[in-house]
């Protein structure tokens, strides 16, 4: 059995608490109905897929939301509602990354978009003394920057190739079964992080 040399972490639900219900509620308060049917962690309208692949710009996203809602919402109103799902970084999990980095190559592989990226990067700087979040990792890949999303096999293949690492020496930690299943099909070892489970308690 190959020795694990590399750990790839997901972000939301692993290192950062998120709650899509908060965004649903925020949009409902703005008068946007049925948003929960358009965006969940399991299934999303193509608009959100395109946003997370970096195929549309922030301004185009806001305009599309206005068009779907039939409301003249301000960009800031949409941004605030969209960012409402971002809660808090898991402090103990973030602190554990430093010691893991001494033992392994650690990576981040996240489905996200420029709007959320800017928000959580700012929150991290404010919470952890002006540090840059990506410095916690050997390398970080964000879907909107590389043009691919989990669970696309191409994204996992891209990450392995660009880092020069082997699937059999790598473990991927995510909180969504569709993502861990996709990684496992490529020979990557996986751990599905369950609700209430934390990376600092995995017995490294």
For strands 105-110 and 139-142, give the pairing: parallel
Instruction: For tokens 């880092």, name the residue.
Output: 163
pTM: 0.93
Q: Which residue has the higher pLDDT, 44 or 165?
A: 165
Backbone angles phi, psi at 191, to 5 degrees: -135, 120
**Mean pLDDT within 134-155:** 97
Q: Which residue has the higher pLDDT, 91 or 40?
A: 91
Secondary-structure class of domain 6-18+88-201 per CATH: alpha beta
Local confidence band at 130 (pLDDT 50, 70, 90 cut-offs) = confident
CATH number of 20-83: 1.10.150.240
Question: 68-77, 104-113, 134-143, 155-164: lowest mean pLDDT where?
Answer: 68-77
For strands 16-18 and 86-89, give the pairing: antiparallel
Q: Hey, where are the domains in the chain?
A: 6-18+88-201, 20-83
Neighbouring C-beta atoms of residue 2, cutoff 10 Å: 11
């Amino acid at each position: 059995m190959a020795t694990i040399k590399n750990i790839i972490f997901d972000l939301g639900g692993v290192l950062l608490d998120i709650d899509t219900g908060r965004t649903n509620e925020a949009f409902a308060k703005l008068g946007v109905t049925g948003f929960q049917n358009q965006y969940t962690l399991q299934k999303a309208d193509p608009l959100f897929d395109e946003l997370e692949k970096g195929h549309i710009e922030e301004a185009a996203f806001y305009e599309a939301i206005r068009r779907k809602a039939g409301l003249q919402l301000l960009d800031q109103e949409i941004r605030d509602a969209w960012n409402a799902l971002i809660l808090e970084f898991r402090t103990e999990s973030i602190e554990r990354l430093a010691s893991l980095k001494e033992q392994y190559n650690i990576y981040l592989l996240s489905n996200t978009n420029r709007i959320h990226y800017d928000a959580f990067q700012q929150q991290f700087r404010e919470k952890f003394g002006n540090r840059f979040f990506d410095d916690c990792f050997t390398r970080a890949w964000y879907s909107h920057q590389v043009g691919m999303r989990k669970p696309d096999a191409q994204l996992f293949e891209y990450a392995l190739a660009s880092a020069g690492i082997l699937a059999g020496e790598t473990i991927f930690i995510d909180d969504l079964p569709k993502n861990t299943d996709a990684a496992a099909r490529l020979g990557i070892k996986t751990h599905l992080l369950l609700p209430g489970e934390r990376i600092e308690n995995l017995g490294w």
